[in-house]
Amino acid sequence: MTRERIYLFDTTLRDGQQTPGIDFSVEDKIAISQMLDEFGFDYVEGGYPGANPTDTAFFSARRTAKAQFVAFGMTKRAGISASNDPGLNVLLQAKSDAVCFVAKSWDYHVRVALGCTNEENLQSIRDSVEAARATDKEALVDCEHFFDGYKANPDYALACARAAYDAGARWIVLCDTNGGTQPNEVREIVSAVIASGIPGSSLGIHAHDDTGQAVANSLAAIEAGCRQVQGTLNGIGERCGNANLVTLIGTLCLKEAYASRFETAIDPERLTGLTRLSHAFDELLNRSPNHQAPYVGASAFATKAGIHASALLKDPRTYEHVTPESVGNFRKVMVSDQGGKSNFINALKRRGIAVAKDDSKLDLLISIVKERESTGYAYEGADASFELLARRTLGTIPEFFTVDGFRVMVERRFDSLGRVKIVSEAVVRLVIDGAQHMSVAEGDGPVNALDLALRKDFGKYQNEIDDLVLADFKVRILNGGTEAITRVLIESTDGTGVRWWTVGVSENIIDASFQALMDSVIYKLMKNRELAGKIAAE
């Protein structure tokens, strides 16, 4: 039986940015768009060019290699032509493959928010879609408040969707903007839209999670005929969040009711990276992953001792609805964790590191990783540190340099005008080929000073690290009190555009930072020699 295609549309960088406490930088957006693109999403919506400097800068270049790169914005304003609408022209000039227009589909909003007539709103939808198509961009229309609008005035809501479809929009997306629609209502209304003459192959669903049913509503829409589903990584979004694409992907790919009827761009091999994607995104947000998240949570396949554990030892299917390996997770109950070992072997294989299942060094690596993670390390979001640890444990890596010691000083003083001035100074002593190199540097804070001093004089390797840039620095306190354990996650990049992440953990934030800085430099030197970084370079 031929399976129908479901298209995955990620709006993490646009709708997800509405999450309280989340404010992506341009560098954040570039890193996340690459993660989404490499994983295999069909569409990556990047934001609203023209609305703020960050999104405008982000759309100065195309940010995906395979996925459709999507700009989001309003339909043209009523009363002026498409060619004279500055907001529309910014969208059309953005370096995107597609434009997603948000359009009012509830007559109440047309009257109150837009202040125009129902017909003027329909004309704005038509003109905007036609303008996008004229510039060879794929056009999508998000019918905002569609379900509430349909319940209030079904004829007008359908007219909005029809206007977009007749104008040539590739996708008409039905939005549950307030997040209060129930799954049975979603089924009925999507079915009514299809019965009106708009095929399901042109319909998408955009659900919010205000009743905790965004995933259920998305699946209900797919069952009724929608063939595009929108959502965000880990369900971030305004208020209670959006449909969680991580959960939806696991269900669509692994549950027979959907997997037998539908296919997505995520094949079984890509699916094994689902846990890594979810956790790496949380690390980038500098927050702890949800341990009880479906499919990818640390507790998703964990069982305490007792009758459940006993049954799992006999047959994992007794308490597991899917195999943890299928999503890149692992079982936590069994002492001889074969699932965990297979997961390590696959992770190493992706990095070009071959190791036999019965190799004692593999058991040593697993025990080291588990011990380190119990003390605060998190390798899901620090691929480079994990690769260096694996290569050190399973073999050897060159000793490019050794650190003889470092010192950091922070001084608070007053300048000649009586203003408070904070001065940070660092001293680093390196040994390269038996010769000691000592460097001193001042910086904007102790970590910046330490980074500058570390890389100030690298002897014969200096030219190799000149293009190394620290793109981001995140600190997480793992327990309370002034004696707290600190985890530092550093994102680095170089002239090739490749990015990597390293981690350090210590009671001392400076020491944790230095660990991550050291790993970053060593990884860069390894990468230059094609001894590491095969995944990042793919």
- DSSP characters for 422-445? EEEEEEEEEEETTEEEEEEEEESS
Q: What's the token pair of residue 102?
A: 């948000």
Residue with tokens 């056009």: 139
> In terms of Cα–Cα distance, which of 462, 453, 469 is closest to 525?
462
> In terms of Cα–Cα distance, which of 284, 296, 291, 329 is closest to 34?
284
Beta carbons within 10 angstroms of residue 214's beta carbon: 27
The pLDDT, as a whole number, for residue 332 is 57
**Three-state DSSP class for 5?**
strand
Cα 114 to Cα 120, 150, 164: the distances in Å are 10, 18, 18
Indicate if 401-528 has the same CATH topology as 4-266.
no
Q: What's the token pair of residue 256?
A: 């027979």
Put the strands of the sheet holding 435-443 in their side by side order.
402-414, 420-432, 435-443
C-alpha–C-alpha distance, residues 369 and 366, integer Å: 5
Q: Where are the domains of the chain?
A: 4-266, 401-528
Amino acid at position 14, single letter = R
> In terms of Cα–Cα distance, which of 128, 132, 164 is closest to 146?
164
| pLDDT (tens digit per residue) in 423-444 | 999 999 999 999 999 999 999 8
| pLDDT (tens digit per residue) in 351-396 | 888 888 889 999 999 889 888 888 888 887 788 999 999 999 998 8
C-alpha–C-alpha distance, residues 219 and 231, integer Å: 12
**Three-state DSSP class for 403?**
strand
Contact 217, 179 (CB under 8 A): no
Query: Which CATH number among 3.30.300.180, 3.40.50.720, 3.30.160.270, 3.40.50.300 corresponds to the domain 401-528?
Result: 3.30.160.270
- Ordered per-residue pLDDT tens for the chain, 538 residues: 789 999 999 999 999 999 999 999 999 999 999 999 999 999 999 999 999 999 999 999 999 999 999 999 999 999 999 999 999 999 999 999 999 999 999 999 999 989 999 999 999 999 999 999 999 999 999 999 999 999 999 999 999 999 999 999 999 999 999 999 999 999 999 999 999 999 999 999 999 999 999 999 999 999 999 999 999 999 999 999 999 999 999 999 999 999 999 999 999 999 999 999 998 998 889 887 888 999 998 788 876 444 444 444 445 555 678 989 999 987 654 333 334 676 677 778 878 888 888 899 999 998 898 888 888 888 877 889 999 999 999 988 999 999 999 999 999 988 888 899 899 999 999 999 999 999 999 998 999 999 999 999 999 999 999 999 888 888 988 876 666 799 999 989 898 878 898 999 999 999 999 999 999 999 999 999 988 876 533 3
For the chain, the distance separating the N- and C-terminal CA atoms, rounded to the nearest angstrom, is 34
Amino acid at position 505, single letter = V
Does domain 4-266 bear CATH number 3.20.20.70? yes
